[in-house]
Structure 1
Amino acid sequence: MTARYLYLARHGDAAEDSGLTAAGRRQAECLAERLGDVPLTSITHSPLRRAAETAALLPGPAPAEWDAAGDYVPYVPDPVPPGFEVLFEGWTADELEAGPRLAAQALGRFAVPSPDGAERHDLVVTHAFLVAWFVRDALGAPPERWLGLNAANCALTVIRYSEGRPPGLLVFNDMSHLPAELRWTGFPRHLRVSR
């Protein structure tokens, strides 16, 4: 049975509104090594510099920028659950309104079996919120459940989409390709694992 394998990777560690840090470049290099044997069909990335720089370090076809792979809020629950208010600070009303439309575009493009029946291996270099949105969708969870999912920098999530079957979450937030000192970046400090 042919399938679309969707590889989701959060960008590498970056300075605020900037490109990759030295650690972020190293994370992207480790991700590139991890994906070295994957026959990627496409690489799509967010318009933000940190995602573009991560994608540029990965093997496979030339990366393509796409707005719907960007950094946005995919869904705002009403009311917002206690403790999650901080996730919605700093976004304009227009950005919060555009988020669900972009999220629907992303799911419509990638959260479906291959349109021509051929096996596909598509990689999207994106941000934590969109990784969480795809995982929530694959599990058939209510829309507000994206709030409880976190993705580390350059961690790998893989979802399989096959005709006539529900999506299969094969890998979530896998950091096994990253050395210990590069794991857990991008997580809030209280969620980081210490050794």
Structure 2
Amino acid sequence: MPTRHLYLTRHGASDPFGNLTDTGRRQSALLGERLAHLPIDTVWHSPLPRATASAHELARHLPTASVAEAPELIDHVPYVPRPAETPPSWTGFFDGYDATEAAHGHRLADALVARFTQLPDTDTHEVLITHAYPIAWLVRHALEAPPYRWLGLNSANTALTIIEYRPGLPPTLVMFNDLSHLPPDLRWTGFPTSTRP
């Protein structure tokens, strides 16, 4: 049965200006080493510099994979929840989002799903280097959860999430936010300090 394998990852650690740091390069290289034994077809990346640099660092370990930009992977808020859907910890986060901005984010989210969840004719293995919110949106979609449930699905830098799509079956969430390719000192970048053990 043909399967579309999506290997989702957040870009490596970046500086306040959005550029990949030495830590981020190390994280991306280690993820590339982890994926090197798989038949990766394409490494897709967000247009933002931290994702682009992560993609090229990772792809050094995947010599047969092509590397390409996908605008649908840009960092964006995929769905602005209604007040009744917003957890107390997110109160205030969406202040200032007007209806036009919220609609634009939702259109990007729809385009992301339309492009990367189509069923394949043959087996495909694609790496998507993106940001925490698009990963959360694709996981929420795979689980058929309500739109606001993307909230709180955070991803560490270069953590690995895998979703598989097969004809006639619901999507399979194989793993979420796995960090086993990283040594302990590189595992907690990208998370709020409060979530670290």
- Which bin holds the TM-score, normalised by the shorter protein? over 0.9
Mapped partners of 2:166, 2:155: distance in 1: 24
For 1:1-195, what aligned pairs fall within 5 Å after superposition?
1-59=1-59, 60=62, 61-79=65-83, 80-85=86-91, 87-88=93-94, 94-114=100-120, 117-193=121-197
Q: Which amino acid aligns with 1:77?
A: P
Offset, 1:92:
7.0
Offset, 1:17:
2.7
Secondary structure of the 2:104 match is: helix
Q: CA, structure 1 residues 87+174, in 2 after alignment: closer, same or farther (shift >3 Å)? A: farther
Q: CA, structure 1 residues 51+23, in 2 after alignment: closer, same or farther (shift >3 Å)? A: same
Q: CA, structure 1 residues 90+68, in 2 after alignment: closer, same or farther (shift >3 Å)? A: farther
Q: Which amino acid aligns with 1:126?
A: T
Mapped partners of 1:183, 1:83: distance in 2: 24
Identity percentage over the alignment?
Answer: 49
| Structure 2: gaps of 5 or more residues | none
Taking structure 2 as the reference length, the TM-score comes to 0.91
Maintained 8 Å contact 1:72/1:95: no
Q: Which amino acid aligns with 1:84?
A: W
Q: CA, structure 1 residues 107+33, in 2 after alignment: closer, same or farther (shift >3 Å)? A: same
Off by >2 Å, runs of 4+ in structure 1:
59-62, 85-97
Offset, 1:86:
5.0
Offset, 1:171:
1.0
Mapped partners of 1:165, 1:29: distance in 2: 33
Maintained 8 Å contact 1:3/1:113: yes
Q: Which amino acid aligns with 1:33?
A: E
Give the total of aligned pairs.
191
Secondary structure of the 1:171 match is: strand
Mapped partners of 1:39, 1:141: distance in 2: 30
Deviation string, structure 1 residues 127-183 (Cα, Å, up to 9, x no partner): 000110011111111110100211000000000000000000001100000000000
Mapped partners of 1:89, 1:49: distance in 2: 27
| Structure 1: gaps of 5 or more residues | none
Deviation string, structure 1 residues 47-91 (Cα, Å, up to 9, x no partner): 110000000112332321122101000001111332113543676
Please tell me the root mean square deviation across aligned C-alpha atoms, in Å: 1.6
Mapped partners of 1:32, 1:95: distance in 2: 35
Q: CA, structure 1 residues 2+55, in 2 after alignment: closer, same or farther (shift >3 Å)? A: same
